[in-house]
Chain A
Amino acid sequence: EAGVAQSPRYKIIEKRQSVAFWCNPISGHATLYWYQQILGQGPKLLIQFQNNGVVDDSQLPKDRFSAERLKGVDSTLKIQPAKLEDSAVYLCASSRTSSPETQYFGPGTRLLVL
């Protein structure tokens, strides 16, 4: 079975620019997660979707970050405008349900904000 796909793999932008990341979860997985992983730290959840609804976005900086999963399949995470401190790896993960089972992670998008 195909894994979680993410694009682009790398992105370099200047501060105040906007950027978007795309994620396609494993087929049939209802739950999708976006994590931010700053260098030297563990991943931190930004937002969790169950199908096309948001379950948890309490740690999403909503003044600049937005995410959507309109059809309950693939998802887009956007940052506008970007700040230097947004430099990180953005990981997408999916699972069959939201109960405590295995999350499958994509390879991530490495963002550098200059």
Chain B
Amino acid sequence: AQSVTQPDIHITVSEGASLELRCNYSYGATPYLFWYVQSPGQGLQLLLKYFSGDTLVQGIKGFEAEFKRSQSSFNLRKPSVHWSDAAEYFCAVALSGGSYIPTFGRGTSLIVHP
């Protein structure tokens, strides 16, 4: 079965600093990859997704992610963090050719210091 690992439970950055959230997956084939953000008391919002093609994916709110097949990783990045980016971030993986149901990582909580 596929699995998703987000090794960092919490990440603290200063406003204006760059951000990288890590995500590794375990699956033999290339899956579909997603990053979601969840603000307190809210549902999940899709930031970006990778299905195929260019391995550098641009998303909403200035986020991007890079798929690295050799490392089984799909790390999320942002060059300059804003205080409003403080939230929970989830990486998710879905089987290609399957039911497309995403398996979510445990999440990384982003704290932004002024």
> With A48-B101, A100-B32 as given contacts, are A91 and B51 in contact (CB-CB < 8 Å)?
no
Q: Is the interface of A mostly helix, strand, loop or mixed?
A: loop
Closest to B9 in A: A40
Number of A positions contacting B (CB below 8 A): 22
Q: Is the CB of B92 within 8 A of A102?
A: no
Q: How far apart sit A48 and B100, CA to CA, in the bound complex (Å)?
A: 11
Q: How far is the CB of A36 from chain B (nearest CB, A)?
A: 11
> With A48-B101, A55-B99, A100-B32 as given contacts, are A107 and B42 in contact (CB-CB < 8 Å)?
yes
Q: Which of B14-22, B69-77, B78-86, B104-112 touches A? A: B104-112
Instruction: Type the 1/0 row for A27-44, where 1 means its CB is closer than 8 Å to any CB of B.
Output: 000000100000011111
B46 contacts the other chain (Cβ, under 8 Å)?
Answer: yes
Partner of B104, one of A44, A55, A99: A44
Q: Is the CB of A102 within 8 A of B105?
A: no
**Contacts of B104 on A, CB cut-off 8 Å?**
42-44
A4 contacts the other chain (Cβ, under 8 Å)?
Answer: yes
> Chain B contact residues (Cβ within 8 angstroms of A): what range?
20 to 34
Q: Is the CB of A100 within 8 A of B43?
A: no
Q: How far is the CB of B3 from chain A (nearest CB, A)?
A: 11
Partner of B100, one of A40, A43, A100: A100
Q: Is the CB of B105 within 8 A of A42?
A: yes
Closest to B36 in A: A105
A98 contacts the other chain (Cβ, under 8 Å)?
Answer: yes
Q: Is the CB of B101 within 8 A of A102?
A: no
**Contacts of B51 on A, CB cut-off 8 Å?**
100
Q: How far apart sit A55 and B100, CA to CA, in the bound complex (Å)?
A: 11
Q: Is the CB of A98 within 8 A of B106?
A: no
Q: How far is the CB of B94 from chain A (nearest CB, A)?
A: 6
A25 contacts the other chain (Cβ, under 8 Å)?
Answer: no
Q: A48-B99, A103-B44, A105-B43 are in contact. List 20 more A-B contacts (CB 8 A).
A: A33-B101, A40-B106, A40-B107, A41-B107, A42-B4, A42-B92, A42-B104, A42-B105, A42-B107, A93-B43, A98-B99, A99-B100, A100-B32, A100-B51, A100-B100, A102-B46, A105-B36, A107-B41, A107-B42, A108-B43
